[in-house]
Amino acid sequence: LITMDWCSKFCSSSGHKINPPAGWKDHNFSADEPLMPWFGIDIGGTLVKLVYFEPTDERVNSVPEAETTRKIRHYLLSKTAYGDSGVRDVNLQLEDQKINGRTGTLHFIRFPTSSMPGFIALTKSKGLAPNSSTVCATGGGAHKYDSACQSLSLKFKKMDELHTLISGIQYILKQNSLEAFYYTDPLNNETCKSEFLTSRVDPPYLVVNVGSGVSILAVAEDHSFRRVSGTRRGYVSRTLLLANWL
């Protein structure tokens, strides 16, 4: 979720330990501020998931940031659907987020991976990517489309997918307590219903990530994790968090 060069503060690519940075509570990091716009992208086998940080503080009026923000707002944020299958999930957006000393809104966009070439063409033709921008990217497509994005003067900072998954869960749970829920009487179709967790969700827990493949991760109290099981093929795209099952 941390969308530029300093995203490595969240997601170490050298090991399996997630160390939240100083200032984690308010996400007001002291790293050098990267150029706008701030994007993060997960290019999977089926879907591309894009997150965009839209600045909303008074500094958004600075030049040239204002021009770039205006273009993105016009082409990406003025609509919730793109073509036949692209979607901006308005119900998922997070407002008043403080990241790297800036305040803004996190927007979440998804579209089929087959539309990635069209997205790159749109970004290039509309000038949505300024020179020397770095985008944190994960998924197999981060390697596949690396060279294509160089034509946009973009640099992909490739991140480990499982590290970003775990740190993303930590971030979302701290931002919205209603993101975690469970099913009561899951084997009874008549009485089964979802209930929000009212207590704080802390490790240890299991994460079952179901996408093109399935990965089951055991997350320990110190936020380290290990893959305990999984398969190569999945059937739905969903992340399940099973608290205190270690």
Beta bridge partners, 94, equal 106
Q: Active-site residue numbers?
A: 161
Tokens of 237: 């795209």
Taking Cα atoms as reference points, which of 44, 42, 32 lies closest to residue 5?
32
Q: Note whether 163 and 40 are within 8 A (CB).
A: no
Q: Note whether 79 and 142 are within 8 A (CB).
A: no
CA angle 219, 107, 170 (to 5 degrees): 15
Beta bridge partners, 222, equal none
Q: Note whether 122 and 75 are within 8 A (CB).
A: yes
